[in-house]
Amino acid sequence: MASLADKLKSLGVKTANTISPPATGKPASISIDSILRGDIVTNALGETFIAEQIFDETYLHGKVSSHSHFPLSIISQVTKDPRILELPITKFAFLDTETSGVSGGTGTYAFLVGVARFIDGKFVLKQFFMRDPAEEPAMLEALIHFLAPCEGLVTFNGKSFDAPLLVTRYSLHRIPVPFKNYAHIDLLPLARRLWRDRLPSRALKYLEEHVLGFTRSSDEVPGYEIPWLYFDYLRTGDASPLAGVFYHNAMDVVAMAALLGHVSELLDNPYNGRVEHGLDFIALGKLFEDLNHWDEAARLYERGLELGLAESDFPVAVKRLSILQKRRGDLNQAVRLWQEAAQKNHVYAQIELSKYYEHKLRDAKSALEWANAARNEVEKADLPEYIRKHWLSEIDHRLTRLQRKAGL
């Protein structure tokens, strides 16, 4: 009697004996050291891979040199860390991580850490990479040796993300944190203060393009793809796609050096042509005002107004400058600004002129005229109802008092 297998075979059905086995095994392994120049380094905690690039003093990142004089006086004041002023740039490490996720916590680790220092006039970048998660202790140990001469850290959002993440990883492996007491310049808060009002994004790559004038090559990979590219590498052993990850990390670190140089020189001398937009001068004015450098802040506000501002930005700048002028005791300059803004029908300036005529000149009639002008402007303006009610309530209260003073 024919077997079941024979009957199935006669019907054209393939059985286990006639089916070719599927292809097995991973794709051919392509190691990281075969696609990138670097070394496999051994230390007391194991092995790790380190790639190195050197940028000399002729290198330009877009239109900006990564080798600046780095005058850090104002940055030291903004960060409220006097150590920053005392440290030469050679004592700072520029650091950026590529991680297994963006959520942080003990489940997230940095598989690539890019760190650069200025050594003998050159910007030396080393990228510490763990070929396998088991190499993390060795990678962290190798990082300690490169950071050893440093006393300061420069990052972009590193105070919130990169530094805490690395602290967690060092702590989990019971390895002392090398940068625990470093001075820290986080460029993201500075970037927000300087370009929040003018640029739609303060992401490092956006600033790199629109402030530094540098566009990355086709080797660049989007940041959100990086964790998955690493996981694919762990699964397949093929490091080829990681070349773009190393490029992304290197450009982030170099961009930080160029951005710090640009920002530090901009803060040191805003009038040397580095600042081209009125709104940037206004942002600088706010920063210097917050540092109680009132004379310099007033000068920056005035320069911003001279360069010209959008209609929506003009009253904000005038308001800040006029308040500053009042604080400095220069009321005549404040009045000049209010008059200029009032001619453009800005309600704030009209109300300030009403106050000025009422309280300083004791001229209730002129004060009443400016208050009425402000009320007419509010009634015509396309404003949200809650803002309109606020303005009208304030103005009507003022009108009632002024009419009584004017004998009306």
Note the pLDDT tens digit of each residue in 68-88: 889 999 999 999 999 999 999
Answer yes or no: is 340 within a domain: yes
pLDDT at 300: 95
Q: Does residue 18 lie within any of the structural domains?
A: no
Which CATH number characterizes residue 309's domain? 1.25.40.10
Considering the entire predicted model, what is its pTM?
0.84
Distance, in Å, from the CA atom of 255 to the CA atom of 154, rounded to the nearest integer, reads: 11
Among candidate residues 233, 237, 175, the one with its CA nearest the CA of residue 43: 175
Identify whether 27 is part of a domain. Answer: no
Residue 335 structural domain: 278-405
Angstrom distance (rounded) from CA 139 to CA 127: 10
Query: For residues 77 and 54, what is the distance between their CA atoms, to the nearest angstrom?
Result: 31
**CATH number for the domain harbouring residue 52:** 3.30.420.10
Q: Is the pLDDT of residue 21 over 70?
A: no
Which of 230-239, 285-294, 348-357 is least confident? 348-357
Let me know whether 189 and 290 are in one domain: no
Tell me whether residue 16 is in a domain.
no
Residue 326 lies in a domain: yes
In this structure, are residues 114 and 250 in contact, taking their beta carbons and an 8 Å threshold?
Answer: yes
Rounded CA gap, 254 and 130, in Å? 21
- What is d(CA 263, CA 324) in angstroms, rounded to the nearest whole number? 24
Candidate from 55-69, 74-88, 233-247 with smallest mean pLDDT: 55-69
State pLDDT tens for residues 189-234.
999 999 999 999 999 999 999 999 999 999 999 999 999 999 999 9
Going by their DSSP bridges, the two strands 152-155 and 92-99 should be labelled as parallel
| 87 shares its domain with 203 | yes
164 and 256 inside one domain: yes
Domain boundary among 206, 238, 268: 268
Environment class of 346 (CB within 10 Å of its CB; exposed 0-12, middle 13-18, buried 19+): buried
Neighbours of 237 (CB within 10 A): 14
In this predicted structure, the answer to whether residue 134 has a pLDDT above a threshold of 60 is: yes
Residue 313 shares a structural domain with residue 178: no
228, 201 Cβ separation under 8 angstroms: no
- List, in order, residues 6 or more apart from 212 with CB less than 8 Å away: 61, 62, 63, 64, 255, 258, 259, 262
How far is 287 from 279, CA to CA, in rounded Å?
Answer: 12
For residue 170, give every residue at least 6 positions away whose Cβ sits within 8 Å of its Cβ, in sequence order, or none.
Answer: 140, 176, 177, 178
Same domain, 193 and 307: no
The C-alpha atoms of residue 314 and residue 189 are separated, in whole angstroms, by 24
2 part of a folded domain: no
Tally the domains of the chain: 2
Is residue 145 located within the same domain as residue 176?
A: yes
Considering the domain architecture, whether residues 304 and 385 belong to the same structural domain is answered as yes
pLDDT at 240 over 90: yes
245 and 110 together in one domain: yes
Q: Both tokens of residue 359?
A: 């309280």
Same domain assignment for residues 64 and 102: yes
* Six-digit token string for 106: 């003990």
Same-domain pairing of 149 and 294: no
Is residue 185 classed as helix, strand or coil in its secondary structure?
strand
In a domain, 25, yes or no: no
Asked whether residue 122 falls in the same domain as residue 180, the answer is yes
Is-contact 108 165, C-beta < 8 A?
Answer: yes
Same domain, 329 and 182: no
Predicted confidence at residue 28, as pLDDT, reads 61
Q: Give a yes or no: residue 329 inside a domain.
A: yes
